[in-house]
Amino acid sequence: MPRFILGIAASILLLAGLSGSDAQAANAPLEEALAEMSIGSADAPVTLHEYASLTCSHCADFHTKTMPQIKKAYIDTGKVRLVFHDFPLGNLAMAGAMVARCSGKNNFFPMIGAMFTSQESWAHSDTPFEALVGIARLSGMSENDVDACLDNTALLAELQKRAKHANEVLGVQSTPTFFVEGKKIPGNMPFDDFKDVLDKALAK
């Protein structure tokens, strides 16, 4: 079975939980597309900020291996809120970020989860745009929706502006980069290392 088909199969499983209304949605309004994308309680005592690129293999490792453990132990229990920040490394990563945001706030985390899970197939495809459209369709976006999303210069400009700020002001130079209560963590880590950092932040 071709790699892209396998990637789409994995994406279907991740996006299967979308509600019917979400799955029928086209492009989100610009304000929604640019909203903070976070998971977890707004009242969580600790916030974990992640700067990531959808074509970054280390970011994919975090989301497929470490993130599920953090979600179960800290996010689902109300201890930690994760805020995702786009830091695209290249045009394809930017396209993926734009499409994920255009899919709508409710679809965003299932979409990036699908992209990270099937990264090997779509990010390294000979036809990456078609592969990206295939994933986007699972959230209810058509090829025309994807075209319109990628033509949204206001969305592109704002994401570029945010990435520049992250680089020049916050010192983000690679992905993934994390911040926990102001402490910078460059690179992915095993769950136990994240646990140490999060537990110390929670103990303050």
The pTM (predicted TM-score) of the whole model is: 0.86
Question: What does R_g of the chain's alpha carbons equal in angstroms?
Answer: 16
Q: What is the DSSP letter of 121?
A: H
Angstrom distance (rounded) from CA 3 to CA 21: 30
Q: Which two tokens stand for residue 2?
A: 């071709």
Cα–Cα distance, 110 to 40 (Å, whole number): 14
Which tokens go with 121? 């197939």
Name the domain count of the chain. Answer: 1
pLDDT in tens, the chain (204 residues): 333 333 433 443 444 444 333 444 568 889 899 999 999 999 999 999 999 999 999 999 999 999 999 999 999 999 999 999 999 999 999 999 999 999 999 999 999 999 999 898 888 888 888 888 888 888 889 989 999 999 999 999 999 999 999 999 999 999 999 999 889 999 899 999 999 999 999 998
DSSP per residue, 32-100: HHTS-EEES-TT-SEEEEEEE-TT-HHHHHIIIIIHHHHIIIIITTTSEEEEEEE---SHHHHHHHHHH
Task: Give the structural domain span for 112.
Answer: 3-203
Task: State residue 26's pLDDT score.
Answer: 62
For the chain, the farthest-separated pair of C-alpha atoms sits apart, in whole angstroms, at 51
Residue 53 sits in a domain whose CATH number is 3.40.30.10
Strand partners, 39: 82
Distance in angstroms (rounded) separating the CA atoms of residues 188 and 61:
8
